[in-house]
Amino acid sequence: MKKECVVSTLSAKAGEKVTGVVEFPVNGKPFSLPVFLINGKNDGPTLVIFGGIHAAEYASAAAALEIGQTLKPEDINGCVIVVPVVNQAGFPVRSIYLNPMDGVNLNRVFPGKADGGPSEQIAAWLTKNVIQQANYFIDLHGGDLIEALVPFALFPETGNPSVDKASLELAQVFGIKYLVRKVGTAGSTFSAVAGGGTPALLVESGGQGIWPRKDVECLVQGVNRVMRQYDMLSGGKPEKVETIVLQDFIWLRSEHTGFWYPGINVGEDVQKGQVLGKVTDVWGNTLQTVTATATGRVLFLVSSLAINNDDPLLAIGA
Ligand SMILES: [Zn+2]
């Protein structure tokens, strides 16, 4: 008989969908987390989907919620666990990057520490109670409130050939064109999950505090494609899409605190040496002329006029 799908106090029998809020202590106070469990009638892999670990990356939360809401247990094989908004404290206050409980980036503390700070405790609980059940793990992201981007996917390289191959396949199947190989991003969900032996992926779509249909759709359809690939949904294997594995993702940073005037748009092709924008002081004097250090496409662009020393300005996929 097919086993139940269980997260803490929630459990879904075979052929059942259960939604609810799980609660666990963080610094001794109850922390509540809405979860969808969709347990198919037939055996198959367990897929775990996270959204909103960065609380203002709205397309990710909207997509995760839609996936949880629309998937029907009668249509799927295996089990899908969706946590639509991981950063529960950050969502209502529209927090950029951080968990307001401790000012820590939740996506830098995985697999977490049960006796650590609030973010580490949340990560440890999720690792033990959710992630460890996964056969495949997908973390949905996007540009934050002050970031515009062209959709891209990060896949982990751990040095374990079978896990790395499976993570690359996840990336190729998802349907996003630009793929970036990441060797060990300390504490990020997908690196920690892959380090534990489970194929994992981080995908980015949307940004700037809006969630256009096309960006939500990109993430929803990507998960749908992955589920078809592993026979969790009917419809056959998804059509192949062209992907480009970028050799390098080059970050350009501000060397000053001041005003950021980008001179290019996200998605634009740029040449090495091209002027991409400037950082000025409050009087309008140029403090830094930003030039492209490589030829490639601008996949990520900070759209905030206010900029701090060492903030990222843009990233070129080369
Ligand atoms: Zn993010």
What proportion of the chain, given as a percentage, has pLDDT over 90?
95
Query: Residue 250: pLDDT above 80?
Result: yes
Tens of pLDDT, residues 83-103: 999 999 999 999 999 999 999
Name the token pair of 273: 């040496």
Q: How far is the CA of 1 from the centre of ligand 1 (A)?
A: 38
CB 19 within 8 A of CB 68: yes
CA dist., res. 63 & res. 71, Å (int): 12
Tens of pLDDT, residues 225-239: 999 999 999 999 999
Q: Band the pLDDT of 2: cuts 50, 70, 90.
A: confident
Query: Residue 249: pLDDT above 90?
Result: no
Helix (H, G, I), strand (E, B) or coil at 122: helix
Query: Residue 199: pLDDT above 80?
Result: yes
CA dist., res. 129 & res. 109, Å (int): 16
Tens of pLDDT, residues 7-17: 999 999 999 99
Q: How far is the CA of 53 from the centre of ligand 1 (A)?
A: 7
Q: How far is the CA of 106 from the centre of ligand 1 (A)?
A: 10
CA dist., res. 305 & res. 318, Å (int): 26
Q: How far is the CA of 13 from the centre of ligand 1 (A)?
A: 32
Fold of 5-245: Aminopeptidase (3.40.630)
Q: How far is the CA of 229 from the centre of ligand 1 (A)?
A: 25
CA dist., res. 160 & res. 222, Å (int): 25
Q: Which residue has the tokens 């996200």?
A: 266
Measuring CA to CA, how many Å separate 43 from each of 74, 77, 155, 233? 12, 6, 27, 12
Q: Report the chain's mean pLDDT, rounded to a whole number.
A: 96
- pLDDT, average across residues 236-260: 94
pLDDT at 247: 74
Q: How far is the CA of 188 from the centre of ligand 1 (A)?
A: 10
Q: How far is the CA of 54 from the centre of ligand 1 (A)?
A: 5
Tens of pLDDT, residues 186-195: 899 999 999 9
Q: How far is the CA of 51 from the centre of ligand 1 (A)?
A: 9
- Give start and end residues of each alpha helix (H) in 81-212: 118-129, 161-174, 189-195
Tens of pLDDT, residues 139-181: 999 999 999 999 999 999 999 999 999 999 999 999 999 999 8
Is the peptide bond preceding residue 156 cis, with omega within 30 degrees of 0? no
DSSP string, 81-102: EEES-S-TTTTTTT-SSSBTTT
pLDDT at 248: 74
pLDDT at 186: 84
Q: Hey, what amino acid is at 13?
A: K
Q: How far is the CA of 293 from the centre of ligand 1 (A)?
A: 24
Q: How far is the CA of 97 from the centre of ligand 1 (A)?
A: 7
CB 291 within 8 A of CB 276: yes
pLDDT at 3: 87
What proportion of the chain, given as a percentage, has pLDDT over 70?
100
CB 272 within 8 A of CB 293: yes
In the chain, where are the structural domains located? 5-245, 247-317
Q: How far is the CA of 105 from the centre of ligand 1 (A)?
A: 9
Helix (H, G, I), strand (E, B) or coil at 177: coil
14 exposure class (CB count in 10 Å sphere: 0-12, 13-18, 19+): middle
Domain 247-317's class? Answer: mainly beta
Q: How far is the CA of 274 from the centre of ligand 1 (A)?
A: 28
CA dist., res. 224 & res. 73, Å (int): 14
Measuring CA to CA, how many Å separate 30 from each of 6, 25, 291? 20, 4, 49
Query: Residue 185: pLDDT above 90?
Result: no
Measuring CA to CA, how many Å separate 214 from each of 101, 168, 170, 207? 32, 24, 21, 12
Residue 292 Cα to chain centre, angstroms? 26
Q: How far is the CA of 59 from the centre of ligand 1 (A)?
A: 11
Q: How far is the CA of 98 from the centre of ligand 1 (A)?
A: 10
CA dist., res. 304 & res. 147, Å (int): 8
- pLDDT, average across residues 127-143: 98
- pLDDT, average across residues 123-131: 98
Q: Which residue has the tokens 């001794």?
A: 28
Q: How far is the CA of 44 from the centre of ligand 1 (A)?
A: 29
Q: How far is the CA of 147 from the centre of ligand 1 (A)?
A: 10
Q: How far is the CA of 300 from the centre of ligand 1 (A)?
A: 12
Query: Residue 1: pLDDT above 90?
Result: no
CA dist., res. 318 & res. 307, Å (int): 24
Q: How far is the CA of 234 from the centre of ligand 1 (A)?
A: 30
Q: Which residue has the tokens 């992926």?
A: 201
